Structure 1
Amino acid sequence: MNKLEIELSNCFGIDSLNYKFSFEKGRTFSIYARNGLMKTSFAKTFQLIQKGKSSDISDAIFGNQGSAIVKIDGQDISKKQVFVIKSYENSYEADISSLLIRGDVQTQLKDVFKIRTKLLKSLEKDSGLKIKKTYLGKSVYELEPAIVEDFGFAEKDILSNLDELASYEPEIECGNIKYSEIFDDTVLKKIMDTKFQEGIYDFVSASNEIYDSFDYLEKGNLTLPKLKDLKKALFKDAFFSKDNKIILSGQQPISSVDALEQHINEIEAKIQQMPAYKAIENLLSDSKGMTLKDIIEVNPEIIEYLAVDKLIDLKKSLWGSYIKKNNILFGELRDKYNSLSHEIDNLEIDSTPWKEALDIFEQRFSVPFTMKVVNLKGAIIGESMPQVQFSFTKGDVVKAVDRSELDKLDTLSQGEKRALYLLNIIFDIEQIKSTGEEVILIIDDIADSFDYKNKYAIIEYLYELAQESNIYMLIMTHNFDFYRTVAGRLSVARENRLVAECSDNNLKLKKEFYQDKPFKNWKNKPTDKYIFALLPFVRNLIEFGVDRNISNTESDYLFLTSLLHEKDDSMGITFGDIEPLFQQYAGVNQFGESVEKSATVLSKLSLVCDNITTEDTKLENKIVLSIGIRHEAEKYMFQQIGNYTGQLRWTKNKQDNVGGSTEFIEFVHESNNQTRQLFNGFRQFGNDEEIKILNEVNIMTPEHIHINSFMYEPILDMDIVELHRLYQTVRNLR
């Protein structure tokens, strides 16, 4: 596999996305996409491709038909070439049957299944029942469950009951009768009717008399209803023109419809003299009833088995007769299965691929339970889905529950539920690995809501998958820390590290600009914009390290804080003043020639912000806009509060205070959260629209201009369009 090309439109939340993934540099891509941008829609689209339901792809909200053109090396992708791993699916369970056996047993099992299918197809033809049919829009198995139910077998499949079927001797031979023509709901209702149960013997006796009286009739072939149909056909086709004639056995030639009608009238007159025959004939007058009537007339030996208490014996006799008709095929199936069954009975679960997959999980992930399959044989032969039992231990007490009971008890944490989901994913992936076929894994936020231990266990498993030659991965996440860690641990090529962006409803995947930490690039080329972007970083280095007071002020930390908040000294700080701090604390190179060192820092802030457009999606632009937004908001609130002549309320040291604007502003300068306290004062008198705008500042910017363990992840998630809009809105307040 060399290339994956996608052209998506109206794919749920994706209006448009075109991209070519080249696997020339590696089989793994890491994709960072903020929440709500693409991940779920992308995964859902490919999941429908995986299920063979591409026609269901659409814009679910607006009802537009979707289109997903996906090609691998120029050929349309097949559903076997993709496997989607969503963030979490509560009811997801893998089919682990094939993991329970190794190759040699699996080969024998395939032979057994092949013969079983041949036998079931023969039984389908003989019985009239379908192996599988559609009922209320769902596929349901019909034939095999009917056999199991009719014989009352405990094991719910034909393979487990071959010996019992072989030993059964049908009470009557009736292999020429279709099961479906008797045990149809409509027909059974007629059979159960009192008139039928009480009059069936008299009906057969009368029937014999009629056929004896009119020897041109034949049971099951030329009956009275069929003779009437013949008359209608001959009349419709003008058969008797040109002196054409028909001859009924033992009768004179018939040369007209009227003459044929006379014979029919004679038969009906005879029936009128036989109430027992007439009553049953009326009961069986529809098409299904006439079929039953023909069966009875041709096979009168089944009459005693149509009694209510003998119907079950008739069912068994029908199946027994069909099996006798297919005795060679049945015998071959029985011999092969008995040989295989012995091997399954001696199977060591610890040597199966299932146990190997379970070991992968248990060695890496922390969960409070152990697991085992309790219906090994039934699961292998397909009698039932594998039933996994979960065992919990407290001291010397072990409590075992099945999956449904575990879900009902709802005792697992969200992380443990996700771990269980991940286990099922591992089962499926191990099956994919074993096939050797090339498959693309679409992975959507797989580490979401895991603790760090399990999160890194996931990364380690992804690393192992990346070593598999048949596995290709598109790993999507909204967690920038996880994105960076995956890219590093899996050695994802530079070209394969992508960031999702949206412009004018068109989604784009772009190569990540900062392959390493962004500070490295900013430090080496300190322009005005990069200096603003580095401000929070340098200030936090001082906060978490040793404040050396290079600025010869109260503290270097507070000195730089004056550039992130409106302080009395904010407008007097120059680029030359802060250059030594950047060099000493962060190892920044000497400021570039483009930096006017005598200029005040904040005098340049609005110029830099004003030149940022919605196309400038790099991290430094988001940080600078966030700083600009905060300054514009604080300047406006200081101005409005300073002009306010009323009383303001605030809380200091758990004490409620009331005073004028001067006292309030003094309190603000002393507080640890200047922007928030300014807002608390402004909201006491500002109009609703301005309060709404300034509250948005509080929501969008607090965490953006402080570094944290996720390296500015909150601001990376923020759309540049939103920050640009808010900056313009706040500026317009002045």
Structure 2
Amino acid sequence: MKKLTVELENCYGIKKLNYEFNFEKRNTYAIYSPNGVMKTSFAKTFIDLSNNQDSKDIIFPEEITKRNIKDENGQNLMPENIFVVEPYNESYRSNKVSTLLVNAQLRTQYENINISLEQKKTELINLLKPLSGLKNGIEELIIKAITKLDNDFFRAIARIKGEVLDGREPEFVNIEYKKIFSEKTDKLLQIPEIKDKLKDYILKYDELLSKSKYFKSGVFNQTNASTIAKNLKENGFFKANHTVNFISKEERSEIKTEKQLEEIIENEKKEILNNSDLLKIFNELDKKIVVNEELREFRDYLQSHIEILPELSDLEAFKEKLWISYFKSHKDSFRILIEEYETGKSQIETIIDQARSESTLWSEVIDIFNLRFSVPFKLSVGNQDQVILKSFAPVVQFEFVGSASTKVVNENDLMKVLSTGERRALYLLNIIFEVEARKTGKIKTIFVIDDIADSFDYKNKYAIIEYLKDIAGYDYFYQILLSHNYDFFRTVSSRLDMLRENKLNTDKDEAEIRIYVEHYQNNPFAHWKTKLNTDKTMLISSIPFVRNLAEFSGDEHVFGKLTSLLHFKPDTDAFLVEELENTFKRVLKDQSKLTLDDPTKKVTELIFEVADEILRNSNEKLNLEYKVALSIAIRLKAEIYMVTKIDDDSFWKGIKKNQSNELLVKFKNKFSTKYTIIQILEQVNLMTPENIHINSFMYEPILDMSNHHLQSLYKNVSTLNNI
């Protein structure tokens, strides 16, 4: 992309904005824009476009919105080609993180092993459906019944391998899981009265079983006997002239036919299950169940399978017995699956170990963050193997290193202990993930970055600048950096080696927002010195600059004289232009030939003339010299007004420092009911700094002041006597 044309109207307070960004020579722009001009609105508009949503004006929704953002070919910018970095968004998480944890070769190896296992697992589970009566959720129920909390099906079946393949016949293969277990039956069987009746039944049942002629508790009960009879019949045992001996204390009975076997088992079952005491308990239990219509099917099933009643005292154990019985019914399929799992297990473990130790782009992001940003924790990924092999969402671990140990904390706990700046640094981690993912995919992207360095300490601020510089090194990335912080704007412009036309300022009036190339690309004072005799605004704006030079060089006389032009002092009105000329010559050694017009004019008169001229040309954008000159004029007029009204020369002349504030306190005490005037004077105190230094960090507050506010304030202080 070579160019980006932005045409906006009525977008979140932007009445009108037209600008063409040219990326042919540099792919990064920096825009200095004081708060309240356009930064957030500009960013919101691009967020809308990235989300494929319409933009609007929230305050005046009835206004017609226009949003044209196109490339050099007149094509609309696509949502996926835009990424807006907000100053801070705690909830933001990049959805592209997993793409940084990809190793296609490892994943292919892992998937090849698992495809066969998954196929055989599905085949086995399908075989269990008719036995259990269930159509869905079988895998989860098996896992829960066997390993309780684990979510690994293969680990579950490996645990019961010995029981399934022990050679015994399935005990409960004819019992349907679905007929017994449900949310309603689980609740029923937890009722104390029901549990007590079940306990009574089991005690009586065990007592009868112990007295049985042939059955024996825990070894050979009616269920075992029925299963054996069924298997002998199916395998032609008696047809082959084999016999079975039933031995009791009193006698040995030789069973020669299927009918004899069925009769002896049935008689033994009837003797136990038809016992009057046992039936009484069952009927009492039945009465508790029958009152609930929703459990009618469960009750009917119990009546036809009364032999399972003792198992209901331990539901979890019974569930496991059922699944084991079902697996026993298909033990060949079970054996094939478990053997293949055990063969592939060691290979899978080797692959997982390799995935955990794999160096990925994720690791590079973590390294970028850990090395560059100053936070009290280190980052690592907690489930790299699962992300690489199973497409799980990555889990970031936060490690706090103490004097004697390291502690890993979760993100929720982390947010409770981090400072605001540290939270912002953590937010940047997610931004870096997104950027690196786009880098990996070589996705052409316009980054709109809104005050990203706000509220950071200098170490992290410069780390951000270095990362922005990294982004600028990719020819498919384009950046528009927005900042209200002049120091950051100036630094990032320098570090990213921007051309003059890439360093932009903004100006706003009621009709539109204008974006223009910054007037002063380097030290403004060097330029002002060359215009002292031709540009009155630059002359006046140089006064605080020369005053500070005098202070730094130890020339207290000049420092005191020039202070009389920044504050209203007893000698302020007597300060003439010719004295200002001589003072400048004394401090600025390269200005020995300086000649100023109107040498006998009062400097204060010149200051106010310059301010009035700036006001008359209010439609022009205000450069630094205009703002400094207006600030000087505003403060002088305010102090002259307060000194005149207070009318206390001894107090005024006795002020040694912080004169504006001292005068304001005195004025408020004396004229406490002059609310409107006090409000204006307080604005003066807030908006015009006590000193304007040569250090750019200190003239930044002047730059950040709105043109409109300075102009309005000058008008107001000029009319104080009329209020």
Q: CA deviation at 1:472?
A: 1.4
Tell me what 2:22 maps to: 22
The answer to whether the Cα contact below 8 Å between 1:623 and 1:715 also exists between their aligned partners in 2 is yes
Q: Match for 2:626 among 621, 627, 631? A: 621
Q: Whole-Å Cα distance in 1 between the matches of residues 699 and 528 of structure 2?
A: 15
Which residue identity does 1:90 align to in structure 2? E
Q: Distance in 1 between matches of 2:148 and 2:104?
A: 30
Kindly indicate whether residue 388 of structure 2 is the aligned counterpart of residue 403 of structure 1. Answer: no
Q: Is 2:574 aligned against 1:566? A: no
Asked if the contact 1:575–1:596 (Cα under 8 Å) also holds between the matched residues in 2, the reply is yes
Matched-pair contact (CA < 8 Å) for 2:398–2:411: no
Alpha-carbon shift at residue 370 of structure 1 (Å):
2.4
Match of 2:400 in 1: 391
| In 2, Cα distance between equivalents of 1:357 and 1:456 | 17
Letter in 2 for 1:639: T
Change (3 A) 1:112 1:60: farther
- Assess, with a 3 A threshold, how the Cα gap between structure 1 residues 72 and 616 changes in structure 2: closer, same or farther: closer
Q: Number of paired residues?
A: 602
Relative distance call for 1:45 and 1:117 in structure 2 (3 A) is: farther
Q: How does 1:586-665 map to 2 (within 5 A)?
A: 586=588, 595-611=597-613, 612=615, 613-642=618-647, 661-665=648-652
CA distance in 1, matches of 2:465, 2:412: 31
Q: Is the 8 A contact 1:102 1:353 kept in 2?
A: no
Does the residue aligned with 2:565 lie in a helix, a strand or coil? coil
Kindly state the Cα deviation for residue 536 of structure 1 after the two structures are TM-superposed.
1.0
Match of 2:491 in 1: 485
Q: 2:103, 2:349 → 1: CA distance? A: 14
Indicate whether 1:466 and 2:475 are aligned: no
- Counterparts of 1:406 and 1:521, CA distance in 2: 54
- SS of 1:571's equivalent? coil
**SS where residue 712 of structure 1 aligns?**
helix
Structure 1's 389 and 680: CA in aligned 2 closer, same or farther, altered over 3 A? Answer: closer
Shift of 1:152: 5.8
For residue 725 of structure 1, what is the aligned residue in structure 2? 712
* Aligned counterpart for 1:344 among listed residues 349, 352, 370: 352
Q: Distance in 1 between matches of 2:62 and 2:155?
A: 50
C-alpha contact 1:94 1:428 (8 A) present in aligned 2: yes
1:111 is displaced (CA, Å) by 8.9
1:144–1:516 CA distance, 2 compared to 1 (3 A): farther
Asked if residue 373 in structure 1 is aligned to residue 381 in structure 2, the reply is yes
- DSSP-derived class of the 2:506 partner: strand
Match of 1:423 among 429, 435, 449: 429
The alignment partner of 2:490 has SS state of helix
2:682 corresponds to 1:699: no
**8 Å contact kept, 1:704–1:715:** no
3-state SS, counterpart of residue 447 of structure 1: coil
The question of whether the paired residues in 1 share the 8 Å contact of 2:658 and 2:690 is answered with: no
With the length of structure 2 as denominator, give the TM-score of the two structures: 0.67
The question of whether the paired residues in 1 share the 8 Å contact of 2:483 and 2:489 is answered with yes
State the AA in 2 paired with 1:604.
Answer: L
Give 1:407 shift: 2.4
State the identity as a percent: 36
Superposed displacement of residue 444, structure 1: 1.9
Q: 1:398 to 1:732 in 2, by over 3 A?
A: same
Q: TM-score, normalised by structure 1?
A: 0.67
Match of 1:258 in 2: none
SS in 1 for 2:21: strand
* 1:389 partner amino acid: F
8 A contact 2:144–2:150 mirrored in 1 = no
Q: What is the CA deviation profile of residues 39-81 of structure 1, one whole-angstrom value per residue up to 9, with x for unaligned ones?
A: 333334433443x3514x4444565699573544233333321
Aligned 8 A contact 2:638 2:684 in 1: yes
Residue 432 of structure 1 aligns to a residue whose secondary structure is helix
**Aligned CA distance change for structure 1 residues 402 and 346 (closer, same or farther; 3 Å):** same
Tell me the SS of whatever aligns to 1:346: helix
- Ranges in structure 1 where 5+ consecutive residues have no aligned partner: 128-141, 193-279, 290-295, 297-302, 548-553, 643-660
- Report if the CA contact (8 A) 2:547-2:563 is conserved: yes
Instruction: Give the alignment partner of residue 514 of structure 1, picking from 497, 511, 520.
Output: 520
Partner of 1:679: 664
Q: Kindly tell me: are residues 67 and 424 of structure 1, through their superposed partners in 2, closer, same or farther at Cα, counting changes over 3 Å?
A: same
CA RMSD of aligned residues (A): 5.4
1:510 alignment partner, SS class:
strand
CA contact (8 A) 2:544 2:691 kept: no
Partner of 1:543: 551
Task: Return the match for 1:456 from 462, 467, 473.
Answer: 462
What is the aligned partner in structure 1 of residue 34 from structure 2? Answer: 34
CA separation of 1:109/1:624 partners in 2, compared to 1, >3 Å: closer, same or farther?
farther
Matches of 1:118 and 1:633, distance apart in 2: 86
Asked which structure has the greater CA Rg, the reply is: 2
CA contact (8 A) 2:544 2:693 kept: yes
Taking the aligned partners of 2:522 and 2:538, their CA distance within structure 1 comes to 16
Range with bigger deviation, 713-722 or 687-696: 687-696
CA apart distance, 1:488: 0.6
In structure 2, do the counterparts of structure 1 residues 29 and 332 end up closer, same or farther at CA, with 3 Å as the change threshold? farther
Say if 1:157 and 1:383, in contact at 8 Å, map to a contact too: no
Secondary structure of 1:351's partner? Answer: coil
1:567-626 deviations in Å (ceiling 9; x for gaps): 232223233322243345346657888843343322222221112315332111111111
**In structure 2, distance between residues paired with 1:144 and 1:39:** 54
1:495 to 2:480 alignment: no
In the TM superposition, what are the counterparts of 1:264-413 in structure 2 within 5 Å? 342-347=350-355, 349=357, 351-380=359-388, 381-394=390-403, 397-404=404-411, 406-407=413-414, 409-410=416-417, 412-413=418-419
Distance 1:424 1:340, change over 3 A: farther
Report the secondary structure of 1:378's partner residue: helix
1:97 is matched with: 98
Secondary structure class of the residue paired with 2:402? strand
* Unaligned segments of structure 2, at least 5 residues: 129-136, 165-169, 191-289, 302-307
Q: 1:478 to 1:186 in 2, by over 3 A?
A: farther
Q: Tell me the amino acid that sits aligned with residue 414 of structure 2.
A: D
CA distance in 2, matches of 1:184, 1:66: 59
Tell me, what secondary structure is at the counterpart of 2:720? Answer: coil
Counterpart of 2:67, as a letter, is: I
Alpha carbons 1:6, 1:19 under 8 Å: kept: yes
- The alpha-carbon deviation at position 86 of structure 1 amounts to 2.0
CA distance in 2 between counterparts of 1:166 and 1:439 reads 55
**Relative to 1, partners in 2 of residues 1:731 and 1:114: Cα closer, same or farther, differing over 3 Å?**
farther
Q: Distance in 2 between matches of 1:570 and 1:120?
A: 95
Equivalent position amino acid for 1:54 in 2: Q
**Which region of structure 1 is more displaced relative to structure 2, 19-28 or 360-369?**
360-369
Q: 1:641 to 1:48 in 2, by over 3 A?
A: same
Whole-Å separation in 1 of the counterparts to 2:10 and 2:141: 46
Whole-Å separation in 2 of the counterparts to 1:348 and 1:386: 13
Q: Which moved more, 1:573-582 or 1:439-448?
A: 573-582
Rounded Cα–Cα distance in structure 2 between residues aligned with 1:420 and 1:454: 11
